[in-house]
Amino acid sequence: MQLTKQQDSFILFAKANVSAHGAQMGAGMENRMEIYNSLTKKVEPFVPNEDGKVKMYTCGPTVYHFAHIGNLRSYIMEDLLEKTLRYLGYDVKRVMNITDVGHLSGDSDDGEDKMLKGARREHKTVMEIAGFYTDAFFEDCKKLHIKRPDVVEPATGCIEEFIHMVQTLLEKGFAYEMGGNVYFDTSKLANYHVFSGQTEEELLVGVREDVEEDSNKKNKSDFVLWFTKSKFDAQELKWESPWGMGYPGWHIECSCISIKHLGEYMDIHCGGVDNIFPHHTNEIAQSEAYLGHKWCNYWFHVHHLNDQTGKMSKSKGEFLTVSLLEEKGYNPLAYRLFCLQSHYRKPLMFSYEALSNMETAYNKLVNKIAGLREEGEIEQDKFEAYQKRFADALCDDLNSSMAITVLYDMLKEDMTDRTKRELAKSFEEVLSLGLFAVRKEEEDPELVAYVLKRIEERTAAKKAKDFKTADAIRDELSAKGIILEDTREGVKWKKA
């Protein structure tokens, strides 16, 4: 790997956008995407380093358990970003890591090793756990129409690169060995807290009392690059290194894997908001110290999916997975629509009631599109006007709910069915809602419309305590081969 000459003021690079080639957008591609950048805390025009090309990195899952639908909210919105960029004509290369080593339950090098915890829970080896949950993650992604990134790299496949980076950081004076571990020395940076602009002292306010301090650290915010002697003697995965048998810290993997596949300059880095500190802060620290220049211009962070207890997580509240939603009778793509209807920078509150309403809306939408006939000519002016409105919505800091409003407006517009079908196909490239995949029981839009109408009437009858009418509607539908099921989340139906 080629290193550029070290410069004096690391992380100060983060203040102004750099362009590796000083490139402007080429003719033929309109650069009109605007996106919120967590680094500058502003919505900014998106200008990649290389003309027409986007280098994008996503922090992948820690594969010690199934992904919950909160994790998947982040991946749905990142998928939307990637597809929007492709829709605008960019050639996107997207890389994702798989965290199969080094992630502790506390993000600041405290707590249990997550992979070990998973292996103990299931009486399996760490690699068995990693393999199983990596496959499960991509199965969930498939159900949610999340595209697999161009490169997917497990952390355990890059140990040599991690060692090389740690060694370089030691040589450059940004790291030190203490008590057998190697630490990054944050005091060597002009501005370690690039995202918050906070000082060390400010950040200490509110630090959890129960986080045990690692007495090896020279500064409170230093973090582990390589563990050898640590509390995890039982660590299954260990590798030879210049510092003894050990394993990498969590943050180093994303720096190495992204530089390995995307080179020294990256355009946009994605993750959930909880990744901002310490994970992304530490990634910037070590990558820029290693490279000697600014590394990534745009940082895209998705806000959390919450439930009644707060941020959805794997360790508290109901552990909501895609399979669980399916067991309860929901179509995973209704969940995708639920996510797209809300802006990625706003927290999103999950409830079954909201999802049920979204599923009803989803079914109506899909049936409306299924009812469009291959008739008439394409009305070019209207086609282009709607395509522009759709792209404009997404270019406005990824306003996905506005993009869906454009879809609804388009379906109501007075124009040929063929124009509408072609527009829906075009929007589907980005939305990926399965707009043209009608479920078996929904193949007949007239039947669907009728069943939905009768369900509404039955619900109204029940509300008015007219149980005779409600039962009669159920019996009538049953005679037509339609089974109704009253669930906590609303009425569901299927063909017998």
Q: Which does 62 bind (CB under 5 to 8 A by kind): ligand AMP, Zn ion, none?
A: ligand AMP
If binding is defined by CB under 5 A, does position 252 make contact with Zn ion? no
What is the H or E stretch that residue 369 is in? Answer: helix 352-370
If binding is defined by CB under 6 A, does position 74 make contact with ligand AMP? yes
- Annotate each residue in 218-247 with x if it binds Zn ion (CB under 5 A) or - if it does not, as one string: ------------------------------
Q: Which does 194 bind (CB under 5 to 8 A by kind): Zn ion, ligand AMP, none?
A: none
If binding is defined by CB under 6 A, does position 272 make contact with ligand AMP? yes
Closer Cβ to ligand AMP, 80 or 391, answer by number: 80
* Cα distance between residue 353 and residue 102, in whole Å: 38
Greatest alpha-carbon pair distance for the chain in Å reads 82
- Hey, what are 152's tokens? 């997917």
Shortest CB 101 distance to ligand AMP, Å: 13
Determine which residue in the list 275, 321, 356, 363 makes contact with ligand AMP, applying CB under 6 A: 275
Closer Cβ to Zn ion, 94 or 336, answer by number: 94
Closer Cβ to ligand AMP, 59 or 266, answer by number: 59
Q: Which does 70 bind (CB under 5 to 8 A by kind): ligand AMP, Zn ion, none?
A: ligand AMP
- Annotate each residue in 98-137 with x if it binds ligand AMP (CB under 6 A) or - if it does not, as one string: -x--------------------------------------
31 bridge partner residues: none
Helix (H, G, I), strand (E, B) or coil at 77: helix
Helix (H, G, I), strand (E, B) or coil at 181: strand
| Site stretch for Zn ion (CB under 5 A), options 211-219, 254-262, 330-338, 447-455 | 254-262
Determine which residue in the list 31, 49, 62, 221 makes contact with ligand AMP, applying CB under 6 A: 62
Please compute, for residue 180, the number of CA atoms within 13 A of its CA located in the half-sphere on the CB side: 12
- Annotate each residue in 52-81 with x if it binds Zn ion (CB under 5 A) or - if it does not, as one string: -------x----------------------
Determine which residue in the list 11, 14, 59, 262 makes contact with ligand AMP, applying CB under 6 A: 59
- Hey, what are 168's tokens? 């370089």
- Annotate each residue in 302-331 with x if it binds ligand AMP (CB under 6 A) or - if it does not, as one string: x-xx-----xx-------------------
* Cα distance between residue 300 and residue 478, in whole Å: 49
Amino acid at residue number 22: G
If binding is defined by CB under 6 A, does position 278 make contact with ligand AMP? no
Residues 6 or more apart whose Cβ sits within 8 Å of residue 145: 79, 333, 336, 432, 433, 434
Amino acid at residue number 471: D
In the complex, residue closest to ligand AMP by CB: 272
Cβ atoms of 211 and 251 within 8 Å: the answer is no
If one counts every other C-beta atom within 10 angstroms of the C-beta of residue 447, the result is 16
Write down how long the chain is: 496
Site size with ligand AMP, rule: CB under 6 A: 17
Q: Which does 154 bind (CB under 5 to 8 A by kind): Zn ion, ligand AMP, none?
A: none
If binding is defined by CB under 5 A, does position 254 make contact with Zn ion? yes
Phi, psi of 261 (to 5 degrees): -100, -20
Closer Cβ to Zn ion, 37 or 62, answer by number: 62
Q: Which does 254 bind (CB under 5 to 8 A by kind): ligand AMP, Zn ion, none?
A: Zn ion
Closer Cβ to ligand AMP, 264 or 283, answer by number: 283
Determine which residue in the list 102, 248, 271, 332 makes contact with ligand AMP, applying CB under 6 A: 271
Cβ atoms of 368 and 411 within 8 Å: the answer is yes
- Hey, what are 220's tokens? 């409170």
If binding is defined by CB under 6 A, does position 274 make contact with ligand AMP? yes
DSSP string, 270-334: EEEGGGIIIIIHHHHHHHHHHHSS--EEEEEEEPPEEETTEE--SSSS----HHHHHHTT--HHH
Closer Cβ to ligand AMP, 59 or 424, answer by number: 59
Phi, psi of 156 (to 5 degrees): -65, -10
- Measured CA to CA in angstroms, residue 67 lies from 73, 89, 156, 320 at distances of 10, 31, 20, 9
Phi, psi of 200 (to 5 degrees): -55, -45
| Site stretch for ligand AMP (CB under 6 A), options 22-30, 300-308, 322-330, 469-477 | 300-308
Helix (H, G, I), strand (E, B) or coil at 226: strand
Q: Which residues bind ligand AMP (CB under 6 A)?
A: 59, 61-62, 70-71, 73-74, 99, 271-272, 274-275, 302, 304-305, 311-312
> What does the binding site for Zn ion look like in residue numbers (CB under 5 A)?
59, 254
